[in-house]
Amino acid sequence: MPPRPISAPSAAAANTRPTLTPARSLAAPPDVATRPAAPPRAPAGRPTGPRGPRRRSLAGVTVDDVLRFAAGCLPARPGPRSVGVETEWLVVDRAANDAPVPPERTSAALAPLLATLGSNGSAASGEPAGAVPDATGAVLAGGSRLTFEPGGQLELSGAPLPLSAALDAVRADLAQVRAALADAGLALAGLGLDPLRPPTRWLTDDRYASMAGYWAASGHDAGRIMMCSSASVQINLDAGADPLDIVRRWRLAHRLRPVLVAMFAASPARLGRLTGFGSARTRMWESLDPTRTVQVGPTQVAAADLADRWAEYLLSARLMMIAVAPDTGRDAGGSAGPSSATGPGSRTGPGRQQRLVAVRDGTTFGDWLRGAGPTDRPPLYDDLALHATTIFPPVRPRGWLEIRYLDAQPGDGWLVPVAVTTALLDDPVASAGALAACREADKGWRQASAFGLRDDALRRAAVSCVDLALDGLVRLGADESTRAAVARFRDRYPARGRTPPTTWPTGSPRSAPPACSATSSAEERPTGHGDRHCLSSLPKICAHPGPNPAAGV
């Protein structure tokens, strides 16, 4: 039977909540094998995900197990707060800024830096002499871990630390990385979407090959664009001190979304064309897959129901990939799966090596739990843990709150959304004020991603939130330099109804955009400025704020 194309669920199906019928638990509590936001040696208090005995069971999971797994993703942890910062960057060749940059070239540029730190990433001891070490997994002096995204985007994941220490550590690590890349003619660009280059997938391990196969079955290109052409600032904050605190922080993280998306919109263009959206990345993520990239249930949720909502989301989400025996030659949708049986995306199962393959037929995890899955065996805890890593809502519970909805920011602009968001969630006075401010600007993500701070209500809410954050930063003991950076941002941008200019490294006569601002440097020039997102060398072929079909938005 040919694979069934993935299609959006009907309105009735989308609004139907799975029945969570308790069943006898047959296995141990979950051990989530997600990519950490920081090195394993992080200080005490780091969010660690669901807790419990670290053992595997061959028994299939039950609905009870999914409920316990979901509850473990939202643990109550009293005590001092920490923040983990993940910054993603588009890597650009200064001499040809429309040319793709493979991860091997970036790794080679970083090799001298890593050698001085004694950190060789994932380079295997058996590599031939002269082989370029892969920078993946390397840890920098400040504790940031280097990884690559499928399109060659470079990610620095900082260790969870108190706010000022976290910002200082990531900033110092970024300075070292930028210097090493500059010596090799490369630069880091902080934008939510690549404005010039088409998406190219460089990473070929099982996980990303399966992910690409899943998105290909959807019939549109947005999945490949998000894998290979997007970048973000992700902020990892503690879930909360107790159940009531957790639900308060959860609600506020979602209420803030339109205001923060509008304030930090930095993805106006793709393939050399303006899209008509200040944050086209937000537009893409929200419309990508209604079972895995939209918000987890309504914002207003009772503390007792939050874990149930996350469990329902996990059960309703389509399977993206599953683990199979290495000799399995076909994926779960009937098409040939990845050919490699080993590599970074492979998984070690009980007593044997496993590989990941795409699920292309729209099967959900709940279907699999009920015996209608893509394979005859029942789902195990490893399968549930893997499934959870393929779910991408705007705020994801991972043992902490992973805030995923912010575009990457130019230069050192990333520290402002980190400081503002942390202050608004961690300081109780700022939290209460922000909730009221956002209620007055109750705009959806479409309005925020399209108009940004040109919308008066969003602009007023943004100014109020930054003012509240500034006061909260004082109470949280943030250092003077952080408070000064946020104050400068407030006066230059939200107070004027503008967003920071997006920049793209230039140097090639083929595609260097002319300057939109007399203050731009020779190295980087604006691709968008204020509320215009004026990418002056890129023709606008659609009416604002509508999408640009040619740009795939």
Q: What is the DSSP string of 408-430?
A: P-STTTTHHHHHHHHHHHH-HHH
Residue 507: the pLDDT is 60
Total count of residues recorded for the chain: 553
453-459: long-range pairs with CB below 8 Å, 24+: 453/262, 453/263, 453/493, 453/494, 453/497, 453/498, 453/499, 453/531, 454/497, 454/531, 455/262, 456/497, 458/258, 458/259, 458/262, 458/263, 459/494, 459/497
Which structure tokens are listed for 38?
């920081």
Placement of tokens 């001499």 in the chain: 95
Residue 511: how many CB atoms within 10 A of its CB?
A: 18
Q: Which amino acid is at 49?
A: G
pLDDT band at 250 (very low <50, low <70, confident <90, very high): very high
Percentage of the chain modeled with pLDDT above 90: 66
Whether 404 shows a pLDDT value over 80: the answer reads yes
> Which segments within 253-387 are labelled E, that is strand?
269-270, 273-274, 321-324, 347-349, 352-358
Q: Do 299 and 438 meet the contact criterion of CB atoms below 8 Å apart? A: no
Q: Where are the alpha helices (DSSP H) in 480-530?
A: 480-492
Phi, psi of 384 (to 5 degrees): -65, -45
Task: Tell me if the bond preceding 514 is cis, omega within 30° of 0.
Answer: no
Cα separation, 74 vs 293, in Å, equals 19
Whether 310 shows a pLDDT value over 80: the answer reads yes
Placement of tokens 């990385």 in the chain: 177
> 63-116+134-325+354-496: what CATH class?
alpha beta
- N- to C-terminal Cα separation, the chain: 32
Among 535, 531, 536, 527, residue whose Cα is nearest residue 504: 527
Residue 136: the pLDDT is 87
Task: Tell me if the bond preceding 394 is cis, omega within 30° of 0.
Answer: no
Phi, psi of 254 (to 5 degrees): -80, -40
Placement of tokens 């209500």 in the chain: 457
Greatest extent of the chain over all pairs of C-alpha atoms, in Å: 67
- Tens of pLDDT, residues 418-454: 999 999 999 999 999 999 999 888 777 788 999 999 9
| Domain ranges across the chain | 63-116+134-325+354-496
What average pLDDT does range 47-59 have in this prediction? 41
Q: Is the dihedral of CA 112, 164, 233, 409 positive or negative?
A: negative
Among 408, 417, 415, 410, residue whose Cα is nearest residue 481: 415
Q: What is the DSSP letter of 151?
A: T
Residue 120: the pLDDT is 54
pLDDT band at 346 (very low <50, low <70, confident <90, very high): very low
Task: Please name the residues in contact with 330: beta carbons below 8 A apart, sequence gap of 6 or more.
Answer: 336, 337, 357
Distance of CA 507 to the CA centre of its chain: 30
Query: What is the torsion angle, in degrees rounded to the nearest 10, for the CA atoms of residue 291, residue 85, residue 400 and residue 34?
Result: 60
Cα separation, 174 vs 61, in Å, equals 42
How would you class 509 by CB atoms within 10 Å of its CB: exposed for 0-12, middle for 13-18, buried for 19 or more? exposed
Task: Please name the residues in contact with 491: beta carbons below 8 A apart, sequence gap of 6 or more.
Answer: none
Percentage of the chain modeled with pLDDT above 70: 73
Residue 40: the pLDDT is 31
Cα separation, 108 vs 101, in Å, equals 11
Residue 9: how many CB atoms within 10 A of its CB?
A: 15
* Mean predicted lDDT score pLDDT of the chain: 80
Residue 11: the pLDDT is 39
Cα separation, 145 vs 140, in Å, equals 6
What average pLDDT does range 489-517 have in this prediction? 72
- The segment with the largest mean pLDDT, out of 19-33, 115-129, 146-160, 319-333, is 146-160
* Beta-bridge partner residues of 330: 336
Kindly provide the b/e burial profile for residues 181-192, where b requires at least 16 CB atoms within 10 angstroms of the residue's own CB: beebebbbbbbb
Q: Which amino acid is at 297?
A: G
Residue 166: the pLDDT is 98
Residue 447: how many CB atoms within 10 A of its CB?
A: 18
